[in-house]
Amino acid sequence: MPWFFLLRALLAMLIVSLVTSSVAMADSLRGTPLLRRYLPEDYNATPQHWAIATDKSGRLYVGNGEGVLRYDGETWTLISLPAKQIGREVVTGRDGRIYVGSYDTFGWLQTSPDGDMVYQELLTAVGLKGRDRELGDIWQIIVTDEGTYFRGERALHFLSYDHKQVKHWPLDENQRSFFVQGNQLYARIAGKGFCRFDDGKFVLLPGGELFADQGLPGVVDRGSWQLLVGDDGFYRADKQGVRPIAQAANYELRNANAYAVYPLNDDSFVVGTLKGELFRYGADFKLRERVNLGSFGIVALGSDQEGGLWAATEGDLIRMSLPSPWSFIGAAQGLGGTVYDFEWHENALWVAGTRGVVRMSPGEHGRIEARETGWVNLEAFALASTDAGLLVAHRKGILVLDSGATEPRPVLETEAESVLQMVASRFHPDRLYGLGDQKLYVLQKSGGRWGLGYSIALEGASPSNLIETGPEQVWLDNSRGGPQRWTLDPAARRALR
């Protein structure tokens, strides 16, 4: 394979730069962001994760099926919990400590005298004795400026940071997730709705009944108001109550099994689903990216100090850049085979490869629509977008899709010669070079249409690249000898070598 094919294949795996001449189009045609999957052999534990947090030094903590994993950027360490229980919840308190919830226990991580990080329970600190210690799962840890709340199966416990204030409240079976804004707690009560928590009482907010029977995967603090991410869309909660956000047409979330919500630094936010998809929405509530992370449900989201977004799933742990200036378009987006070249043309990304020519454009609900055109039966090698149409070099010649046309027409037809490269002239806006196996083809644009001007036999040379250095001068590399300099004579349709 010629070396330029290798380069094109690397380019067209498609790691597509979003900083292109078609920025607006590229922004709406996003693939998978650059990401890394951390495997069990990396952290030496069960690949089952429940929660994510970071400390003030930038270390990452992951609630795992075997305890709590700590990652300092180089080394993973497993911190065991009592009875080797799971790390159900991991949260960074406002005091900078890492709080952990498990089964029948909650506490924090401390540095032991020998320098190891160990778990220390806080049940005694909140005054729990006897059967009151039978907490079941600690589903949530909620932090405020005043202290930390621990939500168990049947009760909510509060411990101030100085351990001088302790409170307990019973919880009913219809209690669902808690959320916090400042020091005020809110919660969803099944059958009732979105409520404010006032010292053990759940006060329904005006309009809060919208969540009586609707799940509430997450709440984003917007300062003077809250963004509620429901099963069927976005809602605003403020002093006037709860109401749908009219401009948010988030149909893609319906039936998506949304589970985790996390705000990003650019005022966008992400929603993870139990179907393994991740949605990123802008501050205007419009869908920016839709990423399929695999078959495992996303159960928690978090970030590190370098801006990386982490996703804890039922079967793997993933770090990604989101939003990212680069994204990967491949089989997950419907692009198969080997890719040799790509071009932006008329509001679409066109791809040349072993599947011929593929047109990729924004589809419904953030997806990419990939359509194999069927224009050629064999490989397509190169593309060139021009104001007079899209040129396609392939195994048997060159096609052009004229501006406004739906089907291409042949510019050059061959039986046994591939055209492998096309180069637009730097000196003649109406000229383009096509480099074949046996000939150099000079294409001319006349009357707004591309046609074949003339061709010159290579006479045994085997070039894989062409560079134009003057108005009528080109250089060709040659695997059968040294490079060749050609001076073109358009009138005579020949070249001086």
The two structure tokens encoding residue 102: 């498990």
The percent of residues in the chain predicted with pLDDT above 70, rounded, is: 93
Q: What is the mean pLDDT of residues 67-84?
A: 95
Q: Residue 166 and residue 46: Cα distance in Å, rounded?
A: 35
Q: Which residues contact 116 (CB under 8 A, 6 or more apart)?
A: none
pLDDT of residue 454 exceeding 80: yes
What pLDDT band is residue 2 in, cutting at 50, 70 and 90?
very low
Q: Residue 451 and residue 443: Cα distance in Å, rounded?
A: 6
pLDDT of residue 8 exceeding 80: no
Q: Residue 396 and residue 413: Cα distance in Å, rounded?
A: 6
pLDDT of residue 430 exceeding 70: yes
The two structure tokens encoding residue 471: 């108005």
pLDDT of residue 436 exceeding 80: yes
Q: Which residues contact 57 (CB under 8 A, 6 or more apart)?
A: none
Which tens digit of pLDDT belongs to each residue from 256-302?
A: 999 999 999 999 999 999 999 999 999 999 888 889 999 999 999 99
Which tens digit of pLDDT belongs to each residue from 154-191?
A: 999 999 999 999 999 999 999 999 999 999 999 999 99
Which tens digit of pLDDT belongs to each residue from 400-421?
A: 999 999 999 999 999 889 999 9
Task: Report pLDDT for 21.
Answer: 41
Q: Which residues contact 459 (CB under 8 A, 6 or more apart)?
A: none
Spatial contact of 58 and 37, defined as CB atoms under 8 Å apart: no
Q: Using the structure block, give the residue that is written with the tokens 């979330």.
A: 253
Domains and CATH numbers, the chain: 3-21+332-459 (2.130.10.10), 28-328 (2.130.10.10)
Spatial contact of 119 and 81, defined as CB atoms under 8 Å apart: yes
Q: 10 Å Cβ neighbour count for 312?
A: 24
Q: Residue 15 and residue 34: Cα distance in Å, rounded?
A: 9
CA 233 to chain centre: 21
Q: Residue 113 and residue 79: Cα distance in Å, rounded?
A: 15
Residue type for position 355? R
Q: Which residues contact 371 (CB under 8 A, 6 or more apart)?
A: 358, 359, 360
Q: What is the 3-state secondary structure (H, E, C) of 289-330?
A: EEEECCCCCEEEEEECCCCCEEEEECCCEEEECCCCCEEECC
45-66 burial, b at 16+ Cβ within 10 Å, e below that, comes to bebbbbbbbbeeeebbbbbbbb
Count how many residues are written for the chain.
497
Nearest-CA neighbor of 46 among 92, 23, 78?
A: 78
Mean pLDDT of the chain: 90
What pLDDT band is residue 248 in, cutting at 50, 70 and 90?
low
Which tens digit of pLDDT belongs to each residue from 186-219?
A: 999 999 999 999 999 999 999 999 999 999 999 9
**Residue 399: strand, helix, or coil:** strand
Spatial contact of 145 and 139, defined as CB atoms under 8 Å apart: no
Nearest-CA neighbor of 320 among 356, 275, 280, 349?
A: 280
Task: Report pLDDT for 333.
Answer: 77
The H-or-E segment that residue 329 falls in is none
pLDDT of residue 110 exceeding 80: yes
Q: Using the structure block, give the residue that is written with the tokens 């040294």.
A: 482
Beta bridge partner(s), residue 80: none
The H-or-E segment that residue 28 falls in is helix 23-28
Which strand ranges, in their side-by-side order, compose the sheet holding 60-64?
Answer: 49-54, 60-64, 67-71, 76-79
Q: Residue 67 and residue 206: Cα distance in Å, rounded?
A: 41
